[in-house]
Amino acid sequence: MKKQIFLYLFVFALLLVIFQFVNSKNIIEKYEVDIQALKKEKVEREKAMMKLEDENLDLLYFNLENNDDALSYFERDGLDTAQLVPFLSDELYKLNEVKGEHPLVPYSSMSGKPMLINKVRLLNHKWIITDFTDGEYWGEMLLKYEITENRELKFKVVESLLYPPQT
């Protein structure tokens, strides 16, 4: 009888070990599948991130703050470029406060609201591109700007366009 109890205990222990082995193997295989999926997702995200970084670099190409040649143009004249970029944008936005027609926007408002400059992008040491709207109609302008010897700021509209209204 003692032999049979040991035999039953041995068989039971063997079944328990087999169960644990199979269960552990299934868990490890599941983890391996999860790890492979995460690695694949990581590679895809890295590719997407690289693509976004390339697009960001392309967008920064025509930008005064990243154009060393244009910045050195102002530095040679003794201007502080860190203060110049916000100053130029602020001066254009201040023109939005002028009563009546906007002094730079070559189009009259057709909706009764004034034309206002919404967005300003400093391209280099000579050109600015802006977006303007009256809430219904909108367009863009290419401006030439100059800082005179007397430290006065002058703007000149080089080209502009008004988009047709969206229906």
Taking the C-alpha atoms of residue 115 and residue 112, their distance in angstroms, rounded to an integer, is: 9
pLDDT in tens, 130-156: 999 988 889 999 999 998 888 889 999
Contact 79, 131 (CB under 8 A): no
Q: Where are the domains of the chain?
A: 1-60, 64-162
Contact 130, 120 (CB under 8 A): yes
According to the model, what pLDDT value does residue 52 have? Answer: 96
pLDDT in tens, 110-132: 888 889 999 999 998 899 999 99
Taking the C-alpha atoms of residue 157 and residue 155, their distance in angstroms, rounded to an integer, is: 7
